[in-house]
Amino acid sequence: MKDNYTFPAIFETAEDGISIFFPDLPGCLPYANNMEEAFKNAREALQLHLFGMEEDGEKIPEPADPTSIKLAKHQVLTMIDAWMPPFREKMLNKAMNKTVTIPRWLNTLAEKENVNYSHVLQEALKNYLGVNESTDKYFTSEGYHAVKEAQALYEVKTRKTSAHKKK
């Protein structure tokens, strides 16, 4: 896994906008209304596509040699950079909506006390999973590489706890 990727993209102009595709990354197909938007959308789509491949453990291909790519009329070849560390951090720290079910009496009491459900759930999950200030760094700009390490640490902790309970 690298921090910076550069892939060739083909911009195909038409009356209704610009279709973009990456010859090396099937399924990465952004669209734009103008050139400025095309570059922005291409970068975002490339980052998201590569992040998804990293998450799924897929091998990221080497980019094709731009000189070997044949273009049709109305097509332009450009190189798109994807600087991944800030994108990974953004994705890893993205807020997720979760629906929880609690007894009505508990909800009534929590509302009376103006409980911030998101904060309480985050703190409870961190406590339950053994995530604290020293392990929080795994989920920041040091980023994605360390997340896998944190997951492995959690799995080891879980196995030890399970083995201890069996004794």
Residue range 105-133, pLDDT digits in tens: 999 999 999 999 988 998 888 888 887 65
Please name the helix (run of DSSP H) or strand (run of DSSP E) that holds residue 141, with its range, or none: none
| Bigger pLDDT: 131 vs 81 | 81
Residues 25 and 79 in one domain: yes
Q: State residue 141's pLDDT score.
A: 46
Residue 72 — φ and ψ, nearest 5°? -95, 175
Write down which residue in 90, 118, 151 finishes a domain. 90
- Condensed to tens digits (0 to 9), the pLDDT of residues 12-65 reads 999 999 999 999 999 999 999 999 999 999 999 999 999 999 989 999 999 999
pLDDT of res. 153: 63
Give me the mean pLDDT over the 84-91 stretch: 90
Residue 22: name the closest of 105, 82, 107 by CA: 82
Q: Which residues contact 3 (CB under 8 A, 6 or more apart)?
A: 83, 84, 85
Whether residues 121 and 68 share a domain: the answer is no
- 86 and 99 inside one domain: no
Residue 166: predicted pLDDT? 57
Task: Looking at the structure, tell me whether residues 106 and 154 fall in a common domain.
Answer: yes
Instruction: Tell me, yes or no, whether 82 and 11 share the same domain.
Output: yes
Instruction: In whole angstroms, give the CA distance from residue 17 to residue 37.
Output: 10
The tally of domains found in the chain comes to: 2
CATH number of 47's domain: 3.30.160.250
pLDDT digits (tens, 9 = 90+) for 152-167: 566 656 655 555 555 5
Residues 100 and 82 in one domain: no
* Pair (20, 74) in one structural domain: yes
Structural domain span for residue 140 = 94-166
Q: Are residues 55 and 100 both part of a single domain? A: no
Averaged pLDDT for residues 94-100: 86
Specify whether the CB–CB gap between 84 and 2 falls below 8 A.
yes
Give the residue with greater pLDDT, 81 vs 154: 81
Q: What are phi and psi of 98, to 5 degrees?
A: -130, 135
In this structure, the answer to whether residues 8 and 84 fall within a common structural domain is yes
Which residue, of 90, 121, 145, is where some domain finishes? 90
pTM of the shown model: 0.68
Say whether both 26 and 12 belong to one domain. Answer: yes
